[in-house]
Amino acid sequence: MLNFLCCYQMLFSHLLYQIGIARADEK
């Protein structure tokens, strides 16, 4: 269970990272 939460956190962090790049690229 703990491993799943860690994996999910990493995936969520990656998503936010991609969104941040997309927004920065728009400007």
**For the chain, which residues make up each domain, given as ranges?**
1-27
Q: Is the pLDDT of residue 19 over 90?
A: yes
For residue 24, the model assigns a pLDDT of: 87
**Segment 1-27 mean pLDDT:** 90
| CA distances for 1 relative to 5, 8, 9, 16, angstroms | 6, 11, 12, 23
**Segment 2-25 mean pLDDT:** 92
H or E stretch including 14?
helix 2-26
For residue 26, the model assigns a pLDDT of: 77
pTM value is: 0.58
Return the amino acid letter for 27. Answer: K
